[in-house]
Amino acid sequence: MNEIFDPVTLLLMGLAVFILFKLRSVLGKRTGSERPPFDPYSKPEQPKGKPNGQDNVIPLPNQTSEQSDALDAAGPGGDVVIDKVAPAGSALNSALKQILSVDRSFEPEPFLQGARAAYEMIVMAFADGDKKALKNLLSGDVYEGFVSAIDDREKRGETIESTFVGIDKAEIVEAALKGSTAQVTVKIHSQLISATRDKAGEVVDGDPSKVTEVIDIWTFARDTSARDPNWKLVATESAE
């Protein structure tokens, strides 16, 4: 029995206790509140009471959280955002800031993206004679003008073959706030392949094998006091 407590055994036991004590002091002990292991493929948890990682941030009507963040980063009134597309002190810069003051959802770059998409949809709908698609994109007066042109074309038995190649450039050239109605004019440089054929199938206008450069100046508008966030085409003209 006394052999258990010989000097060598006691020395080894003391050394073991010392090692365990040092490991405990370095690694710490589990308390039940440790974070789980990091999983790089898991979705990050959102802090409680902060949906989407935001604290006391409520996006305004028709405004995404990304737009809100961009405006906040730009400073009061989103001046930096506007200054990127219109020189500070210019009439266009002032007009865009007026629109922004009554419509916090307005941002030039997303607006231009929407104008590009609308341009392609309208051009192709007109070529196809799709009045239903046009009705949702045009103001009443412009819609009547487009429908009249489509009806005249159909009476003559003509059809349009059109291929939309793309938009080279789109830029805001004018803006205005008239009452609660915001108007933004865009100059669009596009490429189209278009040809009009008569009843017999003969080409009477355009060229089905040629890409044509087209420059249009279109004005879009929306009532900033209305819930409808959509802009509609209210005027068109050719720059050529």
- Which runs of consecutive H residues, i.e. helices, occur in 129-197? 131-135, 140-155
Contact 187, 170 (CB under 8 A): yes
174-227 pLDDT tens trace: 999 999 999 999 999 999 999 999 999 999 999 999 999 999 999 999 999 998
Q: Tell me what pLDDT residue 69 has.
A: 47
Q: pTM value?
A: 0.67
Q: Under CATH, to which class is 65-238 assigned? A: alpha beta
**What does the pLDDT read at residue 18?**
53
Strand partners, 166: 191
> Which DSSP category does 107 fall into?
-
Q: Which residue from 79, 137, 139, 76 is spatially nearest to 107, judged by alpha carbons?
A: 79
Distance separating alpha carbons of residues 103 and 180, to the nearest angstrom: 10
Q: Which of 39-48, 86-95, 215-224 has the lowest mean pLDDT?
A: 39-48
What are the angstrom distances between the C-alpha of 126 and each of 3, 129, 141, 182?
A: 104, 5, 15, 25
CA distance 104 to 61: 8
Share the mean pLDDT of the chain. 78
Q: Say which amino acid occupies 5.
A: F
Q: Which residues contact 192 (CB under 8 A, 6 or more apart)?
A: 123, 162, 163, 164, 165, 211, 212, 214
Question: What pLDDT is recorded for position 81?
Answer: 85
List the structure tokens of 175. 């803006």
Neighbours of 68 (CB within 10 A): 17
Residue 43 in 3-state DSSP?
coil
As a whole number of angstroms, the distance between CA 106 and CA 96 comes to 9
Distance, CA of 159 to CA of 127 (rounded, Å): 8
pLDDT digits (tens, 9 = 90+) for 45-86: 444 443 443 333 223 234 444 444 444 434 444 678 899 889
Q: What is the pLDDT of residue 224?
A: 95
| Gyration radius (Cα) of the chain, Å | 33
Q: Taking the chain, what is the end-to-end CA distance rounded to the nearest angstrom?
A: 112
Which of 96-115 are b and which e, b meaning 16 or more Cβ less than 10 Å from the residue's Cβ?
bbebbeebbbbbbeebbeeb
Per DSSP, 231 falls in state -
